[in-house]
Structure formats: C-alpha cells, structure tokens
Amino acid sequence: MSWNWFSVEKLWDPGSPLGALVLALFFIFLTWLAMTISTRLVQRTRWVIGKLGRKVDQTVVVYILRIKNVIIALMATVFYASLVPGLRALVGTAMAGAGITALIVGFAAKSTLANLISGLSLAIYRPFRIGDAVTVENEYGTIEDITLRHTILRTWDYKRLIIPNEKLDSIPLINYSIIDPRILCRIDMGVSYDTDIDLARRLILEEAHKCPHRDEKAEEPWVRVISHGDFSIGLRLYMWVEDVDKSWSARWWILENVKKRFDLEGVEIPFPYRTLVYKKDLPPALRGEPVAKV
C-alpha cells in the first residue's frame, strides 16, 4: 500500500482533501471555543450587572446568546470557505449571483426569516418574558423558552405548546406577570330568593378573611349583588390575590368553604325547579256551544 497521499505538506495545504479536512476540524474547534468563551463573558457581564443592583432580563440574555452563536458560526463558515480554493470559487460564483441567490433563499426561507425577525422583535419589546404566566388562545401556561424560531409554552397540565414567533407576534395574549402580578379574583355564587342577603354577605366575607390565598396587604374583600336570576339571587365576591395561580386556589377554597358555612347557617343554594304536567291530568278542553241559525 502506498502512503504517498499522506505528507506533512498536504496536512497543512487547504487545497488538498486532507488539508481541507484538518482545517475544517480546526475551525470547528475554534468555533466551539469562541462560543464557549463569549457565552461565559455574557454570563459574567450579567452577574456583574446583577451585583450592581440592575435587573437582568433572562429573555434578552438567552436570545443574545443564540444570536451570538449563529453569527459566530456564519463568520467561521465564510472564513473557512475563503481559505479553501474549491469553496472560494464556489463562494465567488454565489456572490456574483447574489441577487438571484438572495431572492431564491428569501422565498425558500420566508417562514424561517419571519420567525427569526419576530423573535428578535419579541426579545426587544418583551410583551412577555421567560417565566411569565400567560394565556394564549385560551391556553394558560408559563413561558418556558423563546428560541430563534418558536416560543415554548408550558401549559397548566405540563404540556408543551410550540408557537411560531411570527404567529405569537401578531395575536393578542394575556400576560399575568408583567408590571403587576396581582389579580382581582371574582367568585360568583347564588342564594335563594327567601335568603337574607345581609346574612349571606356576612358569611361569605367571614370565609374570605380566613382564605389562606388572599393578599392580606391589599384592599379588603367585598360582595355585590349582580343578578336577579330565574331561581336565585346572584352574589359576587371580589378578593385580591398575589398572582394568577393563587386566584385558582382561592376560588376552589372559597367555593368549598362557603358551601359548608351555608349548610351550617341554613342558607340555601338553589337549583332550577321544573314542574311537569302530564296531558292526562289536564282538564278537558271547553267546547263552544253551536251557533244558532237565524
């Protein structure tokens, strides 16, 4: 077997297949090293800013790290192609037809580019951040990650909802965490028409003050009459809680304990009544007298 294909000169010659392979491995190592060092620098800067008392948004940091890695990889690829003669000619040909190439790539990667730009917009304007509790198209959950292409929403039952950034950038959503996470919890109940409303209100407020999920630093709870229904008087409890998760816990706690208290105090929570009348029990229809002929 001949070993003429292997020589030290070919090992460092980018024009030879062996040299191009060695150079590719070297660039892969340099790219990994540059990504690692730059990531540590960004995280170090984040730590320093945090020590200075400034709040660092995790969403922006994560997006910067991902954009930074893409830029480093592209720069390394272009630089490697410029050193390998065969790839250099290919890059030159591609640059000569840059307009047509950009047009073709633009059409082919229209969705990807739109998601990338939308992701950058979300990172800059931050309508939501990683860790925020949101409702998107009737799905409640927590923002788990924002990638270059899509956003991951962890729903309340621990499913992962993958939403393209382009779509998320153009639809309305509810953010429960931005600015002020407090929630005014509203809990509806009904009592019968013969119930003393003042008594029902007092019992509801007493249970509301015992609720462990209530925000004790906020305004006191209050109860309002909201409807005169077909069979009940509608009452609504307003109570401040610290966040949306506690609003669900507070709702369940109040409904259970108010029901128990109503049972002890003899307050009726009504349900619809219906009266059924069978046809055989109806009185016979009245028949008209015959009209006398003149």
Would you say 70 and 35 are in contact if contact means Cβ atoms under 8 Å apart?
Answer: no
* Domain CATH code at residue 203: 3.30.70.100
* Residue-wise pLDDT tens digits, 80-130: 777 777 666 666 665 555 555 555 555 555 677 788 788 878 877 788 888
Same domain, residue pair 168 and 211: no
Same domain, residue pair 147 and 78: no
Same domain, residue pair 151 and 214: no
Same domain, residue pair 153 and 209: no
Mean pLDDT of 230-241: 93
Same domain, residue pair 192 and 256: yes
Residue 64 belongs to a domain: yes
Radius of gyration of the chain (CA): 35
**pLDDT band, residue 3 (cuts 50/70/90):** very low
pLDDT at 205 over 90: yes
* Domain CATH code at residue 146: 2.30.30.60
Amino acid at 185: C
Amino acid at 178: I
Distance, in Å, from the CA atom of 204 to the CA atom of 238, rounded to the nearest integer, reads 11
Structural domain of 64: 8-96
Same domain, residue pair 158 and 215: no
Same domain, residue pair 167 and 228: no
Cβ-based neighbours of 180, under 8 Å, separated by 6 or more? none
Residue 107 belongs to a domain: no
Same domain, residue pair 78 and 134: no
DSSP H stretches of helix in the chain: 8-11, 17-51, 58-83, 85-96, 98-108, 110-125, 165-168, 197-210, 244-265
**pTM attached to this predicted model:** 0.62
Residue 32 belongs to a domain: yes
Residue 260 belongs to a domain: yes
Same domain, residue pair 41 and 88: yes
**pLDDT band, residue 35 (cuts 50/70/90):** confident
From residue 277, how far is each of 230, 283, 285 by CA, in Å? 20, 11, 15
Give the residue among 254, 258, 257 at the shortest CA–CA distance from 239. 254
The 3 state secondary structure assigned to 6-65 is: CCHHHHCCCCCHHHHHHHHHHHHHHHHHHHHHHHHHHHHHHHHHHHCCCCCCHHHHHHHH
Query: Domain total for the chain?
Result: 3
Boundary (domain end) residue, out of 115, 141, 175: 175
Same domain, residue pair 18 and 52: yes
Would you say 110 and 164 are in contact if contact means Cβ atoms under 8 Å apart?
Answer: no
Boundary (domain end) residue, out of 119, 140, 175: 175
The predicted structure's pLDDT at residue 288: 57
Residue 23 belongs to a domain: yes
